[in-house]
Amino acid sequence: MVFPTTLIKAVKGTRDLLPPFTENWNAVEREARAVFRAYNYGEIRTPILEETQLFARGVGADTDIVNKEMYTFDDRDGSSLTLRPENTASVIRAYIEHRLDQRPGVQKLYYIGPMFRRERPQAGRYRQFYQIGAEAIGSESPAVDAEVIEMVIEILGRAGLTGFELLINSVGDHNCRPQYVEKLRTALEPVAASLCGDCQRRAVTNPLRVLDCKVEADQPIIDKLPNILDHLCDACRTHFDAVKRHLDDRGLEYTVRPRMVRGLDYYMRTTFEVVHGGLGAQNSVLGGGRYDGLAESLGSKVHSPGIGFSIGEDRLVMSVAARESSALDLCIAPLGEPALRHAALLARDLRRGGASVEIAEGKLKRILELANKLGARFTLIVGDNEINAGRYALKEMATGRQEEVTRDEIAPKLGAARN
Ligand SMILES: [Zn+2]
Ligand SMILES: [Zn+2]
């Protein structure tokens, strides 16, 4: 096969994350991991590839994700595989497969990693995107809902996000939702023709999805449709009231948004979302909800109610102030071959002590220019004379001040300047 010599670029809708930008990603993930730890969540890593039917069954056959957006392909043995478009179905699969229901207490699992959806490319949307998410499996308690929501707000705050709004809703359960959906279907019949094409289809196949529609002209009609909160059964109403009470206890502010039904079929009772003003129309930073029947629909013999969320990490990183990238502590300028070998050992010992060190070869003038461009705080000049005398010239780049230091004095100097 002959390959043309054109440049190969990253696949459309994907991107490279480069330093120092990746520092922001790591900072957000560090904060998230610390919060997960505090709430007793453990990390789960599931495969990127799953059998296609996991998502067809777990996410819902009439969702945009499953209908239009999955990366699905036939493996060489003919089985149909899909790059995970979200991770809740995979986590529940793993929960069932490894009998995590037999472990003590509520299973609290978190994940950080890439998901894949073939969406129309637009600003801030990627076909490989990253989610930070968690699932609490094995409890129906509304207090767990509130704790999960509190935790996610904690993560956003520690990541540095400000000016966000928490939206909550209840979407009912298998008792009350079917009746509500029928009411919705009936109410849609006379008005469906005036709605957008997607809504006309949804009015028949999945009326709840109509409530999600973002088309401006549809909004006055949708606003007049029956409100799900007027149609909850007693158990769902009691649950929702308790969730709100627990959120009030914790001093968490929220807005009840009855039209928020979320894009995935498995949600029931509590759903929530956090929106952020800084991102225009596409402003949802995270979404989550309860999914008490999901494990059973994936074959679990045990009732395994759960609640979870996923944060859009791409958007979160974009929305928080950039971190100061960690500066280079020291640039070493070895003058000549013996000095280069000496410098390598100096650098190794300083690096073991936690300093970030770069060795630059070349003329001293060029090295000093490079050290400035790299943002090095100090440059250490190492020549034959310095090695013989055991004293080196340490130059502070910001001030230009230069002093003589012994080998043992270098690390303390770097450390003192850092603090
Ligand atoms: Zn519409
Ligand atoms: Zn209900």
Q: In what order do the strands lie in the sheet with 378-382?
A: 357-359, 330-334, 378-382, 391-396, 402-406
* CA–centroid distance, residue 312 to ligand 1 (Å): 24
Sign of CA pseudo-dihedral 407, 411, 414, 419? negative
Q: So what's the pLDDT on residue 58? A: 84
* CA–centroid distance, residue 263 to ligand 1 (Å): 14
Q: What are phi and psi of 76, to 5 degrees?
A: -65, -20
* CA–centroid distance, residue 240 to ligand 2 (Å): 10
Q: So what's the pLDDT on residue 3? A: 65
Regions of the chain where pLDDT drops below 50: 279-280
* CA–centroid distance, residue 56 to ligand 2 (Å): 24
User: What percent helix, strand, coil does the chain show, rounded to 5?
Assistant: 40, 20, 35
* CA–centroid distance, residue 105 to ligand 1 (Å): 43
- pTM, to two decimals: 0.89
* CA–centroid distance, residue 89 to ligand 1 (Å): 27
* CA–centroid distance, residue 149 to ligand 2 (Å): 21
Give the ligand with the smallest distance to the CA of 225: 1
- How far is residue 249 CA from its own chain's centroid? 27
| Calpha distance 101→95 (Å, rounded) | 7
Q: So what's the pLDDT on residue 324? A: 65
Burial state string for 242-279 with b = 16 or more CB within 10 A and e = fewer than 16: bbbebbeeeeeebeebebbbbebbbbbbbbbbbbbeeb
> What torsion do the CA atoms of 117, 288, 181, 179 make, to the nearest 10 degrees?
150
Judged by DSSP in three states, 106 sits in coil
Q: So what's the pLDDT on residue 1? A: 63
Residue 167, number of CB atoms within 10 A of its CB? 17
Q: So what's the pLDDT on residue 74? A: 97
* CA–centroid distance, residue 220 to ligand 1 (Å): 11
Give the ligand with the smallest distance to the CA of 170: 2
* CA–centroid distance, residue 173 to ligand 2 (Å): 4
Residue 310, number of CB atoms within 10 A of its CB? 20
Domains in the chain with CATH codes: 22-176+232-319 (3.30.930.10), 330-418 (3.40.50.800)
Give the ligand with the smallest distance to the CA of 199: 1
Give the ligand with the smallest distance to the CA of 188: 1
* CA–centroid distance, residue 195 to ligand 1 (Å): 5
* CA–centroid distance, residue 221 to ligand 1 (Å): 10
Q: So what's the pLDDT on residue 39? A: 98
* CA–centroid distance, residue 199 to ligand 1 (Å): 4
Give strand ranges (E) for 27-137: 42-43, 49-51, 71-74, 80-83, 107-116, 128-137
Q: So what's the pLDDT on residue 115? A: 98
* CA–centroid distance, residue 144 to ligand 2 (Å): 18
| Calpha distance 170→186 (Å, rounded) | 21
Q: So what's the pLDDT on residue 323? A: 67
Q: What are phi and psi of 354, to 5 degrees?
A: 105, 0
Burial state string for 367-376 with b = 16 or more CB within 10 A and e = fewer than 16: bbebbeeeeb
Strands 306-312 and 128-137: antiparallel
* CA–centroid distance, residue 181 to ligand 2 (Å): 12
* CA–centroid distance, residue 269 to ligand 2 (Å): 7
Give the ligand with the smallest distance to the CA of 212: 1
* CA–centroid distance, residue 215 to ligand 1 (Å): 5
Sign of CA pseudo-dihedral 166, 46, 71, 204? negative
Q: So what's the pLDDT on residue 391? A: 94
